[in-house]
Structure 1
Amino acid sequence: MAGLDTKSTLMDSVSTGTKGRGFLRSLLARERVRQTLLLYGSDIGLIILTFGTGILNSRFLGPTQYGVYAFVITVVEAVMLFAGFGFPAAGARVVSLAKTRHDEQAIQGALVAIALMMGLCISLVLAAATPLIQVVFHTQEKSWLLIASLLCTLAPLQAILTQACLGANRIGILATLNILPKALYLLGGLGMVVWAHLTAKTALMLYFGGSLASCLLALIALRIRFDQVRSLTREVTAEVKRYGFKAYLGGIADTSTYKLNNLLIAGYVDTNWLGFYSIASTMVSPMVRFSIALSNSAYRSLGQKKSINKKLFMANGAFLVASAILIAAVVRPFITIVLTRQFLPAVGLVYVLLATAFFQGMYQPINAFLCAHGKGRELRSISLVVCAVNLIISLALIPRLGAYGAAIGSSMAKCCELLGNIHYYRKITRQSCSSS
């Protein structure tokens, strides 16, 4: 009898294992799941590569050269933040509405033409403004500013190609655009360290080369067509006026306010706590990145639906809760082992920012739905309200609570953003139901 019981138990275990593997295979067979995991994997890879390039630059450039490199990259990133003028978001929506693959490629061609013109104009303006920048930032490095103007020629193209891939649901190319520039830079930088000497100028050349190679690869993979560029440019411009520029203004307000938190922490407390806040933000960022990856993989289909599938909400919420529990459990030993006990003050900030990440992750599918439906006015309204809430709470709490005030303010602002997204989502879905 004991032998029969053992045999039965083994057979049950094998059966359970087979069913589990079958469920896993069926889950991975779904395109949405594969795309989400691919995008999320590229995001996590980007975090690792960014950490690696940071070590490479600080170790082999030295303080002076690294300072010059960081200044130029800061200028480029500032341009990337402000340079879109709503064209990337509008382009993603126009591409997502294309009826055929040929139309999709033609729209992408018009977007590339727009991006190249924008990049050229931005580069010329930045080069012309070099004397003014030298006065404002007290730098005499004119050649570095000219290099920055060269790097900025690709900023609009990178942003527009990313959104064009999003609208076309070309998630593989999107993941490649996400991770390849950093990977190429790291490989090139290691090569320079081994066979030559890494300087700020060679590092910036590697940065430009990685960005250029990624853009060229995306252009080849997308097989864009320059058909009817003029008429399609007018169509994209009309969408910018209707939707893109409104969403752009909201995004600028949102991003600028959260950047202000860092300045307030440095001003009212000190740079040590700014470092702790930065570490805590990095620790919780994988939560939000999954939600963004899930929402991006669903972007194109959301534009053709009247509501969001409940399974999408449930999958997103389940991951956020599970990852929050995991991060809360491992954060203290992880920081102790990897960063040493000197950075343990960041642990308390992580616990507060987990709420921020949860709220931010929960509204990502709704935000993608609003973007896919071109609700620029609604997105702008949400961002302006959240901007005001975050600014008021941060100014009230940071002088009293320091970095914890910034973390609490971020959590409350993201909660307001979640409520704003839910409000407009319900309003739009009710209108869709009543019209049908």
Structure 2
Amino acid sequence: MNIDKDTIKKIVTLYGSTFIGVGLGFAISVFNTRVLGKEAFGDFKFIETVFRFLASLVSVGIFISITRMLAIAKSKIYTHRLIGFFVIALAIAGAIGVILLLIFSFVEPIWFSGNLGHIFRQYSFLIFAILGSIALREILKGLNKIYTLSVLNAVPAILYLVIAYSFNLKNPLHLEDILLLFYGLQLLFLIVIIIKLKPKFDIKKSLVKDVIHENNTNGKPIYYGSLAGVATAHIVGFSLSYYIDNTQVGFFTLAMTVCSPLIMIPSVLGTVLFKKFANFDYIPKKVIIFSILATVLALIVFYVFIERVFLLFYSEDFTPAIDISKILIFGFLLHGFGDLINRFLGANGKGKLLRNSAFVVGIVNVLGYTILVKYFGVTGAIVTKIFASATYLFMMYYYYTKFIKKNKYV
């Protein structure tokens, strides 16, 4: 596989914006922890967990299906109609998400100690920002609009830091202010980018049939797998809140934020090459070698600087997240390599294989984040994350080897 100059530019651009986005995410977490303190920051992360969990429930695989259809679309008019279908699906899924949030808002004070029901009711509409951002990143991947994806990774975060910092100088920001400003900006950018994609809403019956067929054969199996793999990963926020408190949710999710750069290296390559992967029978060796070398280098840098950087930016109240990060990082390393293979299999329409692997990972998540967290607290959550990531990589590699062996004889 020869990688042309345009692809190299897109890889460099997305890597640059992704790492800028990671740096901005780090800066945002520093700002939010200092403004909110450990208790309110934990509440903020618990709210995010609920929003993201419900967002993962309502898509039913449609966005994944549209992503692959965009990657192989042959005409511009068909592409723009697919984007129109995406907008309609997003509106319906978001409305369902709002209803689920309203229901949860009355349950939360009974099951959890945060007493945050009024916030879920008042800001339920922000699920459009979370669901839309996740879905739009998939759509842009299918369209191979890497530069737009790069803007989405960085610009909303920059604006949030500038605006939030300016406001906080005059009047201290509270949990609700940060929630509205952070996700309100994402919602604004979501709307602007969708408009620029020029969706067409004269949806033909043939297109609807195409989407339904793709969803039944590829998108829905991946969705079921996502419920098992991705959605169950959010259980840790619920279990830590239920068995301990939201402060521990804050520590654990902060550690995940600190560790997240290691997952980006192979994952970004998979995103940029997604469209090309649809026409290849294997992942090129140069892609795998680059991913391994870059990830090992990043791991070394992480261990050299993690403690001093953390203590430089965060208050001492959040130091428990350091020890969590030093172990949790291995889970992110394993997951990143799994994501690279996932992108390849997804581009080749192997949704059922991704679903099957996610079911196995989901079982690990459910058992670990309930039983282990109950008896071992945060330590149980760390062990679960690492074991689940190792299981994910093993399953991806297993199905990948089966795929390439089969294609040798096709």
Q: TM-score, normalised by structure 2?
A: 0.82
Q: Percent identity?
A: 23
Shift of 1:397: 6.5
Query: Aligned in 2, Cα 1:178/1:83: closer, same or farther, shift over 3 Å?
Result: farther
Structure with max Cα Rg = 1
Shift of 1:191: 3.9
CA distance, structure 2, for counterparts of residue 137 and residue 342 of structure 1 = 23
Number of matched pairs = 409
CA distance, structure 2, for counterparts of residue 264 and residue 124 of structure 1 = 23
Letter in 1 for 2:387: M
Q: Deviations over 1:258-291 (max 9, x none)?
A: 4445666778889887766555444432111122
**Selected match of 2:15 from 33, 40, 50:** 40
Q: Can you give the 5+ residue segments of structure 2 that lack an aligned partner in the other structure?
A: none
Partner of 2:64: 89
Partner of 1:289: 264
Matching of residue 118 in structure 1 with residue 59 in structure 2: no
Q: Deviations over 1:115-148 (max 9, x none)?
A: 1233234335645776566666689887644432
Higher mean C-alpha deviation, range 289-298 or range 118-127: 118-127
Letter in 2 for 1:167: G
Shift of 1:303: 1.1
**Selected match of 2:184 from 206, 209, 216:** 209
Shift of 1:68: 7.7
Matching of residue 108 in structure 1 with residue 83 in structure 2: yes
CA distance, structure 2, for counterparts of residue 180 and residue 87 of structure 1 = 27
CA distance, structure 2, for counterparts of residue 396 and residue 415 of structure 1 = 19
Structure with the bigger RCO (C-alpha within 8 Å, sep 6+) is 2
Whether the 8 Å contact between 1:46 and 1:182 is mirrored in structure 2 is yes
Higher mean C-alpha deviation, range 327-336 or range 232-241: 327-336
**Selected match of 2:358 from 383, 388, 392:** 383
Letter in 2 for 1:50: G
Shift of 1:293: 1.1
Partner of 2:5: 30
**Selected match of 1:245 from 198, 220, 226:** 220
CA distance, structure 2, for counterparts of residue 387 and residue 70 of structure 1 = 22
Q: Can you give the 5+ residue segments of structure 1 that lack an aligned partner in the other structure?
A: 1-26
Partner of 1:416: 391
Whether the 8 Å contact between 1:292 and 1:364 is mirrored in structure 2 is yes
Higher mean C-alpha deviation, range 242-251 or range 53-62: 53-62
Higher mean C-alpha deviation, range 376-385 or range 66-75: 66-75
Whether the 8 Å contact between 1:246 and 1:376 is mirrored in structure 2 is yes
Higher mean C-alpha deviation, range 391-400 or range 114-123: 391-400
Query: Aligned in 2, Cα 1:185/1:271: closer, same or farther, shift over 3 Å?
Result: closer
Q: Deviations over 1:354-380 (max 9, x none)?
A: 432332222222110111122222111
Partner of 1:306: 281
Higher mean C-alpha deviation, range 370-379 or range 411-420: 411-420
**Selected match of 1:179 from 138, 141, 154:** 154
CA distance, structure 2, for counterparts of residue 119 and residue 317 of structure 1 = 38
Whether the 8 Å contact between 1:109 and 1:229 is mirrored in structure 2 is no
Shift of 1:235: 1.9
Query: Aligned in 2, Cα 1:318/1:122: closer, same or farther, shift over 3 Å?
Result: same
Q: Deviations over 1:48-67 (max 9, x none)?
A: 43344445455556899878
Shift of 1:251: 1.8
Letter in 2 for 1:83: V
Whether the 8 Å contact between 2:10 and 2:147 is mirrored in structure 1 is yes
Shift of 1:218: 1.1
CA distance, structure 1, for counterparts of residue 131 and residue 189 of structure 2 = 14
Letter in 2 for 1:357: F
Shift of 1:314: 1.0
Q: Deviations over 1:403-432 (max 9, x none)?
A: 555444433332222221111112222222
User: RMSD of the TM alignment (CA)?
Assistant: 3.9
Whether the 8 Å contact between 1:383 and 1:417 is mirrored in structure 2 is yes
Partner of 1:429: 404
Partner of 2:340: 365
Letter in 2 for 1:330: F
Letter in 2 for 1:47: V
Q: TM-score, normalised by structure 1?
A: 0.78
Whether the 8 Å contact between 2:17 and 2:150 is mirrored in structure 1 is yes
Shift of 1:301: 0.9
Whether the 8 Å contact between 1:130 and 1:145 is mirrored in structure 2 is yes
Corresponding residue SS for 2:280: coil
Matching of residue 316 in structure 1 with residue 291 in structure 2: yes
Query: Aligned in 2, Cα 1:401/1:229: closer, same or farther, shift over 3 Å?
Result: same
Letter in 1 for 2:401: R
Partner of 1:49: 24
Whether the 8 Å contact between 1:265 and 1:402 is mirrored in structure 2 is yes
Shift of 1:229: 4.7
CA distance, structure 2, for counterparts of residue 129 and residue 349 of structure 1 = 30
Query: Aligned in 2, Cα 1:93/1:63: closer, same or farther, shift over 3 Å?
Result: same
Letter in 2 for 1:166: K
CA distance, structure 1, for counterparts of residue 33 and residue 318 of structure 2 = 19
Q: Deviations over 1:275-317 (max 9, x none)?
A: 6655544443211112211110111111121221111111111
CA distance, structure 2, for counterparts of residue 62 and residue 332 of structure 1 = 20
Q: Deviations over 1:19-43 (max 9, x none)?
A: xxxxxxxx99833333233333333
CA distance, structure 1, for counterparts of residue 100 and residue 244 of structure 2 = 37
